[in-house]
Amino acid sequence: MSQPLVVVASDAFEHNMLAFSGGPASYMNALALAGLLPVQLPTIAEPIDPSALLDVASGVLLTGARSNVHPTQYGVAETEEAAPFDHLRDRTTLPLIRAAVKRGIPLFCICRGIQEMNVALGGTLFIALHDVPGRDDHRSTPQADTDVWFGLKHNVEVDEGGLLAKILGAGPVHVNSVHRQAIDKVAPGLRVEAHAHDGTV
């Protein structure tokens, strides 16, 4: 049996005045440790049709990123507070998500990834969750000690009867929190399976 292939989203960024496509190696290491073959789908100026990869993929991983989904993708005007953006990633990942869902390929979405999934399927986002009345500040300050930066911060309550509850059991799970945007209107066809105590998905 061949090694299962997982398509991994990439970020577009500049380094030494050159355009790059890639992402944190921690995601690729985690997939490799699980016995999977991570294959990054590049985000470049030339549009790419991922069909050939999806034909052989066992799953798709939408990673976290420094950038945010551009507000115009969910019908909101661009603001400075919504930045930074990665238009090339938006152009690559949003159709990728729709194609994976259409084919029934499992998606694992982390941070920006879950926001991309919600937007790709017709949902919206809070641009600045910390400014929403009644919501906590879910941001974290980048620092050299990544154990502190990505450390566990708060509980989420897993809803009874969902798929996540079958894996983890219902009740609280302690998680990290490093985002300033979050799901607002949930996309049609998606079911929320866990909430932070302030109601954040």
- Ramachandran region, residue 38 (left: φ > 0; alpha: ψ -120 to 50; beta: rest): beta
pLDDT 10s digits, 31-66: 999 999 999 999 998 888 999 999 999 999 999 998
pLDDT 10s digits, 156-185: 999 988 999 999 987 799 998 888 899 999
Contacts of residue 103, defined as CB under 8 A and 6 or more positions apart, other chains included, come to: 54
